[in-house]
Amino acid sequence: MKRYLTIATALMLAASSLLTAAPSSAQSKGEIVIGLQCDRTGATQIVGTVLCPGFHDYIALVNSRGGVEGHMIKAIEIDHEYKVPPGVESYERHKKEGAVTIAVYGTPHIYALTQKLTEDRIPGTSPGFGSAAAADGQRYPYIFPIAATYWSQAAAAVDFAKKHLSGGLKGKKIAYLFYDNPAGREPIEVLEDIAAKEGFQLKTFAVPPPGVEMGAQVLDIAQRYRADFVISHLFGGAPSVSIKELKRVGYPLKKVIGLVWASAEANIEGAGGFGVADGYYAMQFAGVGTDYPVLNEIREMYKKQGKPAPKEMASTVFYNRGVLIGALHVEAIRNALKAKPDGKITGVDTKNGFEKISNFTLGGLVPPLKITATDHEGGGLVQIWQVKDGKFVKSTEWFAAYQDVVAKHIKESGKK
């Protein structure tokens, strides 16, 4: 029985030491806090393990040059394993630490936090995920997609197909291969509208979670439906499987486009490498590759510290997205500080700061977004890159398409 006493004492000791060791929320003066949600261990860890270091590296770069308007930036990262309760906890923690803006990560998380963010007046971003309707800044004043939503992505994919297929879209067959969850089904209504407008045939092929089995769907697309073009909207490990399966049934990959979460190096490598996926088109909301001034600056920063550049930089799609997200947050803070030089900015100021972002391109890594009080998406701009000769090669510049259709849907969902 003695051991229980020992255990109890040990637990108490541990608890008391934790209480004393807990970091205090006091910050050095002038520091500005950004909350960062991450997923380095959960369902989407292939994104988180690369994207979050990109975010931190950009913040470190900004700080190494004296911060923003003389204020240092502190990014507090909390990993939520892609689970909602830890996401809620992390939000409250960020709020406690005084975050003026929060980079939310995960579609269920942005949904779960929408009401809280609005009540507490802290802007939260959902780049490339979350609800497309949140682009409506009037209805969701504190939610900022700050990148092309699924609606804009789907619209851009159709537009790309139109330019890619000779003779326009009339009478053509487009297959939409999607992950069967809300995020996967979100673009369907937009696609159907555009199909009616352009006169092409649209057929949807659902892949049930966890998305590792789609032999039947792919065979259907290639052999029975004989699609002229495939738009693939998959997540996690599913994009790799889709590329592999399409290749197996002999469907030409140069007639396939993956939306933004089906378009990273990790997805291509998972499918068997760049050689296998040759021809595959990938949609991006941040520039791809290593050839951007900001990335050179980050490498130089590491060099000055006598350290090698982090290995995450090699995975350019997600890393660059991390840089983009960090940069847009910093830019919003910069705008807020310009408006309030005393440095006492709140979430409301950063919200206004976000709404002033325009033509901030970071040397081509960030699209020329124009975020306004009504449009929190910033124009729905994407680039298309193609897998070619072992790397991603740019095939279009920043563009957006069918924004009238997207706007109509945003308006309609606002009425609900």
Catalog residues that contact other proteins under the rule CB under 8 A.
Answer: 1, 4-5, 7-8, 18, 21-23, 38, 40-41, 49, 52-53, 56, 77-79, 81, 83-86, 88-89, 92-93, 95-96, 107-108, 111-116, 119, 131, 133, 180-182, 185-186, 188-189, 310, 413, 416
Identity (one letter) of the amino acid at 137?
A: G
Least spacing, CB of residue 349 vs other proteins, in Å = 21
Cβ distance to other proteins smaller for residue 57 or 384: 57
Q: Which two tokens stand for residue 263?
A: 């378009």
Cβ distance to other proteins smaller for residue 38 or 100: 38
Report how far residue 289's alpha carbon sits from residue 378's, in angstroms, rounded to the nearest whole number.
23
Identity (one letter) of the amino acid at 371?
A: I
Nearest partner of 215 among 252, 238, 240, 242, judged by Cα? 242
The β-bridge partners of 370 are: 358
Least spacing, CB of residue 416 vs other proteins, in Å = 7
411 half-sphere exposure, CB direction, 13 A CA radius: 6
Cβ distance to other proteins smaller for residue 8 or 196: 8
CA separation, residue 304 to residues 90, 297, 299, 310, 327 (Å):
33, 10, 9, 14, 21
Least spacing, CB of residue 181 vs other proteins, in Å = 7
Least spacing, CB of residue 370 vs other proteins, in Å = 25
Q: What are phi and psi of 384, to 5 degrees?
A: -110, 130
Q: How many CB atoms lie within 10 A of CB 153?
A: 27
Least spacing, CB of residue 106 vs other proteins, in Å = 9
Q: Which two tokens stand for residue 213?
A: 């089995």
Least spacing, CB of residue 131 vs other proteins, in Å = 6
Cβ distance to other proteins smaller for residue 18 or 26: 18
Q: Which two tokens stand for residue 297?
A: 């600056």
Cβ distance to other proteins smaller for residue 85 or 272: 85
Nearest partner of 334 among 362, 352, 353, 361, judged by Cα? 353
Least spacing, CB of residue 269 vs other proteins, in Å = 20
Least spacing, CB of residue 42 vs other proteins, in Å = 8
Whether the CB-CB separation of 86 and 71 falls below 8 Å is answered with no
Cβ distance to other proteins smaller for residue 21 or 344: 21
Three-state SS across 389-413?
A: CCEEEECCCCECCCHHHHHHHHHHH
Report how far residue 386's alpha carbon sits from residue 365's, in angstroms, rounded to the nearest whole number.
17
Cβ distance to other proteins smaller for residue 82 or 229: 82
Least spacing, CB of residue 212 vs other proteins, in Å = 16
Cβ distance to other proteins smaller for residue 17 or 374: 17
Nearest partner of 268 among 396, 97, 388, 398, judged by Cα? 388
Whether the CB-CB separation of 169 and 200 falls below 8 Å is answered with yes
Cβ distance to other proteins smaller for residue 72 or 112: 112
